[in-house]
Structure 1
Amino acid sequence: MRMRWQAALALTAVAVVTGCTATVGGSASPVPGQGPVVQAVDACTLLDEAQVDALGYESPGRSMPENKKLRQPPMCLWSSKDDVEPSAILNIGLATDLDFNEYVSGAVKKSEPQRIGGLSWTQYASILESDCVLYTILGAKSFAYVSVSAGKLERSCELAKVTIPQVAAHLPGGQDAPPITPTGPVKTEPGGPLLAVDPCTMLKPDQVAQLKNISPAGEKDNSSTVPNATFCLWDDTDGDDGQKAFEVWLGPSTPVGQWPGAKGVEPTETIDVGGKKWGLFPNMGGLRVTCGATLAITETSSVQVVSGFIGDDTKTCDLVKQGLPLVTANLPG
């Protein structure tokens, strides 16, 4: 089953949102014989493009309209830039006709109200323990929220509290937004021993034959998410369940801690292969069926091996562990 692991690293965000100063284009007039026209709220207007860029997220955000049936206010989702660590999802919501207490529906309050950006914000528990979400009440049936998912609750809350003053500036009663110091690592130019290496040479034909349920021919491609990275994918041959494809990724400008799914996460195990120390990541990126292993080549370059198993959690890392000695033997230098 061909299934690139990075394509599966998606977070499903379900949230709520606020207030009445979101920009709505045009003017609305009632239709004869009907009630007044309700203008749509676009939560993406709670950050402008310059703020989104400085906070380290990709523009444009994904606007999601109100869903009254699900009691979901308008919201907007942004993903962090590829070179920003740790990777995160930002979710901002704006409710203009929704009772706040009905919306949170008994969620546990995680903090006392705190004054940020001229408004009072309170943290509530989220469905996902690593997500940090803070709400501000704007009126009888109007509230806003800022939610960040960055893998760890502490880091998520740090990013949320940096974002809130920027959002508050677009809400009634909010203060002017303070300047933002753009964050993110310095981009590394590709170089070192991986620069001219074909990732499909990381397994020789006789070595591929040792890996059960893996096709003999690998396919090379360039990464669309990791700058300058290339990878080779040997597809699995046992259908949709069972063994997943075997992938070798080369990052000539990717430090070992910068691979998506491993950012900000400590390996659960170190595997020594002839003096080369691989870090193992079961459930890579929060995906139960995916396992990865990373190895530093230089301070600014690294290798990653990814596979997995569907249907038996005890086998998730089996093929990765089996393949590490084979890949290690073919590494340059």
Structure 2
Amino acid sequence: MRMKRQVVAVVAALTVVSGCTVAVGGSASPVPGQGPIVKAVDACTLLDATQLDALGYQAEGRSVPENKKQVQTPMCLWNTKDDVEPSAILNVGYTTDLDFTEYIAGAVPKSEPQQIGGFSWTQYPSLLADDCVFYAILGDKSFAYVSVSEPPLDKSCELAKTVIPQVAAHLPGGRQAPSITPTGSAKAAPGGPLLSADPCAMLKPDQVAQLKNISPTGEKDTSSSVPNASYCLWDDTDGDQGQKAFEVWFGPSTPAGDWPGTQGVTPTETVDVGGKKWGVFPNLGGLRVTCGATLPITGTSSVQVVSGFIGDDTKTCDLVKQGLPLVTANLPS
């Protein structure tokens, strides 16, 4: 199976510390009788140093050349910076000389296509349990992919979706990359009314009772992936299928467009609640069963509501939309 070969190659390259390949000056010329020389692809050029720093990855990646015998694309791998959590491995591949159908070897898509950065990206399965990978077909024998592994799968998909528009900007015909709020000390300082507010106060007991299959009491926690963010989770009560938990997230230093899974993605719908306009994102982070809605509070802070539904795609955003008026009424002024 082709994908298994790819996984073996990726696993062998997961200790990512060395730099990209070195470019050699001059231009290649064809050898008489052998036709034109195909220019080698260096996938490490699909992200620049500024993008990598803002995304939280080390500047030096490891370039892995094409291996036609194993049907392997050129690819580049980066580790997250030492002070970034959760730690992850980013893998970006790009080829102009490989048939996608042969490469994917009959694998069935895991998601509907997502329009990001001027291309249609589709999630496919991986043999690594924590690896989330999206592919974009660019032309005849040309495609690219972005994958993130090591965090839990849903978090890997969120991180991959954050990277995709930055990679797309370096592909032929890609759109300009959206701005990224840098990680670490360069990120905006937390502030505004969310800084001292409690996300669990965004639903009163009588309001929680209006949300079907949700526990009456929420649990507060802090985020390990979004700096300064906290959230309250009301767990679902209907088992592994059906309704997902209801979450309210506070980002005192997170603009509305910077939540994982929303970067570079246009909301499919805007819900107006008393003049406050929530952007709604079905398939949040590439996950068909998850829906999110974001609302700016200030220019550098925002609120996000997340839930979903397993087993019926038509209900993915139902609880989110039902909860938006309840949450809005309790937001700090």
TM bucket, shorter chain: 0.5 to 0.7
User: How much does 1:231 deviate?
Assistant: 0.3
User: Is the 1:280–1:292 contact (alpha carbons within 8 Å) kept by the matching residues of 2?
Assistant: yes
Q: Structure 1 CA distance, aligned partners of 2:190 and 2:121?
A: 39
Over 3 Å counting, the alpha-carbon distance change for 1:70 and 1:200 in structure 2 is farther
- SS of 1:228's partner is coil
Q: Flag structure 2 segments of 5+ consecutive residues without an equivalent.
A: 22-46, 105-119, 125-133, 147-159, 173-179
What aligned pairs does 1:38-77 form with structure 2 within 5 A after superposition? 44=16, 45-47=18-20, 54-56=50-52, 57-59=56-58, 77=77
- SS of 1:195's partner is helix
Identical columns (%): 60
Matched AA of 2:213: N
Q: Structure 2 CA distance, aligned partners of 1:215 and 1:73?
A: 47
Over 3 Å counting, the alpha-carbon distance change for 1:308 and 1:184 in structure 2 is closer
Q: Structure 1 CA distance, aligned partners of 2:271 and 2:212?
A: 21
User: How much does 1:72 deviate?
Assistant: 5.4
User: How much does 1:216 deviate?
Assistant: 0.7
Q: Structure 2 CA distance, aligned partners of 1:259 and 1:126?
A: 19
Q: Flag structure 1 segments of 5+ consecutive residues without an equivalent.
A: 1-11, 19-39, 94-99, 108-124, 135-144, 162-182
- Structure number with the bigger relative contact order (C-alpha 8 A, sep ≥ 6) is 1
User: Is the 2:161–2:285 contact (alpha carbons within 8 Å) kept by the matching residues of 1?
Assistant: no
Partner of 1:236: 236
User: Is the 2:161–2:261 contact (alpha carbons within 8 Å) kept by the matching residues of 1?
Assistant: no
User: Is the 2:71–2:103 contact (alpha carbons within 8 Å) kept by the matching residues of 1?
Assistant: no
Over 3 Å counting, the alpha-carbon distance change for 1:75 and 1:62 in structure 2 is same
User: How much does 1:194 deviate?
Assistant: 0.4
Partner of 2:218: 218
Matched AA of 1:307: S
Q: Structure 2 CA distance, aligned partners of 1:13 and 1:281?
A: 32
- SS of 2:314's partner is helix
Q: Structure 1 CA distance, aligned partners of 2:237 and 2:220?
A: 18
Matched length = 246
- SS of 2:257's partner is helix
Partner of 1:91: 92
Q: Structure 2 CA distance, aligned partners of 1:14 and 1:188?
A: 42
- SS of 2:195's partner is coil
Matched AA of 1:308: G
Correspondent of 1:158 among 159, 169, 172: 169
Partner of 1:261: 261
User: How much does 1:303 deviate?
Assistant: 0.2
Partner of 1:328: 328
User: How much does 1:62 deviate?
Assistant: 10
Matched AA of 1:156: V
Deviations 1:172-206 (A, max 9, x none): xxxxxxxxxxx854510000000001111111111
Q: Structure 2 CA distance, aligned partners of 1:62 and 1:246?
A: 40
Matched AA of 1:206: D
Q: TM-score, normalised by structure 2?
A: 0.58
Deviations 1:118-147 (A, max 9, x none): xxxxxxx9976974699xxxxxxxxxx985
Over 3 Å counting, the alpha-carbon distance change for 1:271 and 1:127 in structure 2 is closer
Partner of 1:305: 305
User: How much does 1:69 deviate?
Assistant: 11
- SS of 1:248's partner is strand
Over 3 Å counting, the alpha-carbon distance change for 1:198 and 1:72 in structure 2 is same
- SS of 1:227's partner is coil
Over 3 Å counting, the alpha-carbon distance change for 1:307 and 1:13 in structure 2 is farther
Q: TM-score, normalised by structure 1?
A: 0.58
Which protein has the larger Cα radius of gyration, Structure 1 or Structure 2?
1
Matched AA of 1:158: A
User: Is the 1:42–1:63 contact (alpha carbons within 8 Å) kept by the matching residues of 2?
Assistant: no
The answer to whether residue 260 in structure 2 is matched with residue 249 in structure 1 is: no
What aligned pairs does 1:37-186 form with structure 2 within 5 A after superposition? 44=16, 45-47=18-20, 54-56=50-52, 57-59=56-58, 77-78=77-78, 89-91=90-92, 105=102, 131=135, 147-148=145-146, 155-159=166-170, 185=182, 186=186
When the two chains are superposed, the root-mean-square deviation of aligned CA atoms in Å is 4.9
Deviations 1:192-249 (A, max 9, x none): 0000011111111111111100001111110111110000000000000000000000
- More helix per residue: 2
Matched AA of 2:291: C
